[in-house]
Amino acid sequence: MAVSCARYGLREMFLGGVRSLEELRSRLSIEGQEAEIDARDLVHKEINDLIREAALSGARRITLLNVCGQRYIGTRLFLPQQDGKIEIHVYSTPGNDLGAFLAGHRIVVHGNAQDGVGNTMDDGEIVVHGRAGDIVAMAMRGGRIFIRDSVGYRAAIHMKEYTGKVPVLVIGGTAQDFFGEYMAGGIVILLGLNLKPGERHHAHYIGTGMHGGVIYLRGEVAPYQLGREVGVLELDDKDRRLLHRYVGEFARHFNLNAESILDDRFVKLMPVSKRPYGRVYAY
Amino acid sequence: MRPQISERYLPEKDSQACGLFGVMNTAGERFGGEMAINAMANMKVRGNGLGGGFAIYGLYPEFRDYYALHIMFERHQPGAKEMVDEFLADHFHVVYDEVIPTNKKATVLNPPVVWRYFVSPRRHPEEGNNLSDDEFVVEKVMHINTRIDGAYVFSSGKDMGVFKGVGFPEEIADYFMLDRLYKGYIWTAHSRFPTNTPGWWGGAHPFSILDWTVVHNGELSSYGTNRRYLEMFGYYCTLYTDTEVMAYAVDLLMRRQGLPIEVVSGIFAAPMWDIIEHMEPERRELYKTLRMSYAPLLMNGPFTVIVAHHNEMFGLTDRIRLRPITAAAAGDFVFLSSEEASIRAVAPRLDLAWTPPGGEPVVARLHTKDYLASLTRAV
């Protein structure tokens, strides 16, 4: 009885009422390589169907208007037969998991982003002209993410790298707790541009469980704000070249002066062990 | 014997998150349900249709001096209403009562009968005058919930009420015709995605005692400890879900013990010991004392709650923010939500949008800008 009631009671909140491409075609306009999609009241599958349709029709620059909370924008765009990558401009507030599994394309958000930006992103670029929520760049494995303002909890959680694939995350503001938690690879740069002079970063448990990759941090933190698995190091020339490159890119996206940002002191956080819990669970 | 027909719906286990929304006009102006309903519709993917509900404050100005009881009667217990009516007649002056009007065309599954009563306490001489009116009402609500099969009190405060059931929030709103019939200066709303406990009409959020309401996303793994502690103070959990303890805990700490939420948040979402160690001496003493005195009311596990009572609405997450919250302000309106987009869907022009650290409350109070305090360490 309970089971049949459950079937009756439980409804499909993701795919219920999804309309076909034919019904939605009036939402999409394409002129040459430019496309525009009116996303008002569309659900995420409908938006991604339209983006895919635009891409397959030859569009290379797609503008999404009236986006308000729809998830997974830009996923499902693995197009190995197609030449050239796609640039997606999002107005104004995309939902969770923006650019999840992103396959080399570029997403620019003209507003704030929510949780899970670049979740397991493979390659490409995400630029957010605003703030982002929790778990930015979760399990990211390639490409670059630039966030103009601050981010929430657990940014860069379990970011990873493998041979030549090294993901990069640059954040202009500050971050909340568990920044770089369980990080396994990649490059993370936290600029603290919105902190007042003398104000420390607010995050606690920075780099807890970190066992790979590197965090560059501009601005002050107290030792107790760091996880036990990270050590603090001074920068060498290789680090400075790397910062020069990615802070330069960040500054170009948001019209800032890279030199004045780079003039300030940075510290480097690296894991002290590749297997921080290796002895905890072994018996 | 007739087989028992279950009115509880067990979903297949799935991991997702509930949706929360709250909006308050800090000038005390009453407004309709449009914002709360549309914000919940915007976050449809956060629920699965197994629970939706709303709490409204400033709901019954014409009966503002009376306790408004919203009581649900399960249809397979036809005697329940009669027993409740007798019980109420015995312990209260019932000045007005009626069935809560519903839209017969709305698409909801197996609705119970929901009735409202406006009452004031009627004490028997042998009961004495030891209990305040509020305590008297709590005791009677507990009696109905624990002793009368098939009857559950949705809400029992003055000038407020809870409407909830099994369905998506916009369906529940349609069923109770919230957009057409009611106004208030605070609306909180919940979309449910039950994972650990069944979906049923009494188990939808908000949970309420007197005029306290709680909507909750997450799970309180400390439920057992919290529940046993609350029983010592006369609160009995009957609704098959963890959130109930939160409603009784705020009633105990904030109404009975008079603690402000700024202190209570240090009990529910107590900072970690190693953070407390690095606080200024005075704060360190306070948080140490709270952790030691109120350990059984630490709410462990992932949660975001929006709690409201007369004149106040606040949002709070667990101390390591395992569930999301966004606050926003536009003119006299303060918003709390699981997602920023749902706020922007109903208020495109915001003055501010922010997210405080885990364990720090966002407090909206009538005729103040107290919510700005949560901006200090927000992103």
> Which tokens is A133 given?
């929520």
The boundaries of the domain holding residue B176 are 19-217+306-371
Give the strands of the sheet with B303-309, arranged side by side: B207-209, B212-218, B303-309, B312-317, B362-365
pLDDT of A3? 36
Q: Is residue B362 part of a domain?
A: yes
pLDDT of A281? 67
A1 and B340 within 8 Å at the Cβ level: the answer is: no
Q: Is the pLDDT of residue A6 over 80?
A: no
B275 and A133 within 8 Å at the Cβ level: the answer is: no
Q: Is residue B61 part of a domain?
A: yes
What is the Cα Rg of chain A in Å? 21
Could you say which of A114, A149, A202 has the minimum Cβ distance to residue B339? A114
d(CA B345, CA A10): 26
- In chain A, where the domains are located: 21-94, 96-283
Q: Is B183 helix (H, G, I), strand (E, B) or coil?
A: coil
pLDDT of A2? 37
Q: Is B5 helix (H, G, I), strand (E, B) or coil?
A: coil
Could you say which of A1, A71, A114 has the minimum Cβ distance to residue B6? A1
d(CA B357, CA B287): 17
Q: Is A218 helix (H, G, I), strand (E, B) or coil?
A: strand
pLDDT of A273? 82
Closest chain B residue to A112, measured at CA? B340
- The per-type count for chain B, helices as H runs and strands as E runs, is 11, 16
CB atoms within 10 A of CB A208: 21
Cβ contact B269:B246 at 8 Å: no
pLDDT of B2? 43
A32-66 pLDDT, tens digit each: 999 999 999 999 999 999 999 999 999 999 999 99
pLDDT of B12? 43
Q: Is the pLDDT of residue B4 over 60?
A: no
Of A206, A149, A158, A202, the residue nearest A184 (C-alpha): A158
Q: What is the DSSP letter of A42?
A: -
Beta bridge partners of A165: A162
Beta bridge partners of B306: B215, B315
Q: Is residue B229 part of a domain?
A: no
Q: Is the pLDDT of residue B9 over 80?
A: no
Q: Is residue B5 part of a domain?
A: no
Pairing label, strands A212-218, B113-121: unpaired
Q: Is residue B266 part of a domain?
A: no
- H or E element: which one contains B187? strand B186-191
ipTM: 0.93
Place of tokens 């996923």: A75
> Which tokens is A125 given?
């670029």
B221-267 pLDDT, tens digit each: 999 999 999 999 999 988 777 888 999 999 999 999 999 999 999 99
Residues belonging to chain A with any Cβ–Cβ distance to chain B shorter than 8 Å: 1-3, 5-6, 8-11, 13-14, 43-44, 68-69, 71, 92-96, 112, 114-115, 131, 133-134, 149-153, 173-178, 202, 204, 222, 224
d(CA B108, CA B104): 9
Of B167, B5, B11, B143, the residue nearest B74 (C-alpha): B5
Q: What is the DSSP letter of A96?
A: S
Cβ contact B63:B95 at 8 Å: yes
Of B155, B183, B139, the residue nearest B31 (C-alpha): B183
pLDDT of B202? 84
Q: Is residue B206 part of a domain?
A: yes
Residue B18 is a catalytic residue: yes
Cβ contact A272:A231 at 8 Å: yes
DSSP line for B147-169 = HSTTEEEEE--BSEEEEEESS-H
pLDDT of B13? 43
Could you say which of A2, A9, A93 has the minimum Cβ distance to residue B109? A9
d(CA A167, CA A187): 6
How would residue A283 be classed by pLDDT, with cut points 50, 70 and 90?
low
CB atoms within 10 A of CB A239: 16
Q: Residues 98-117, chain B: which have Cβ within 8 Å of A?
A: 109
CATH classification at residue B366:
3.60.20.10
CB atoms within 10 A of CB B173: 28
Q: Is residue B317 part of a domain?
A: yes
How many domains, in total, are found in chain B?
1
d(CA A106, CA A125): 5
Identify the sign of the CA torsion A227, A228, A233, A239.
negative
pLDDT of B128? 72
How would residue A179 be classed by pLDDT, with cut points 50, 70 and 90?
very high
Cβ contact B337:B304 at 8 Å: no
SS3 content of chain A, % helix, strand, coil (to 5): 20, 25, 55
A207-236 pLDDT, tens digit each: 999 999 999 999 999 999 999 999 999 999
Identify the sign of the CA torsion B118, B120, B124, B129.
positive
Closest chain A residue to B279, measured at CA? A224
Q: Which CATH superfamily is domain A96-283 in?
A: Glutamate synthase, alpha subunit, C-terminal domain (2.160.20.60)
Q: What is the DSSP letter of B44?
A: G
Beta bridge partners of B208: B213
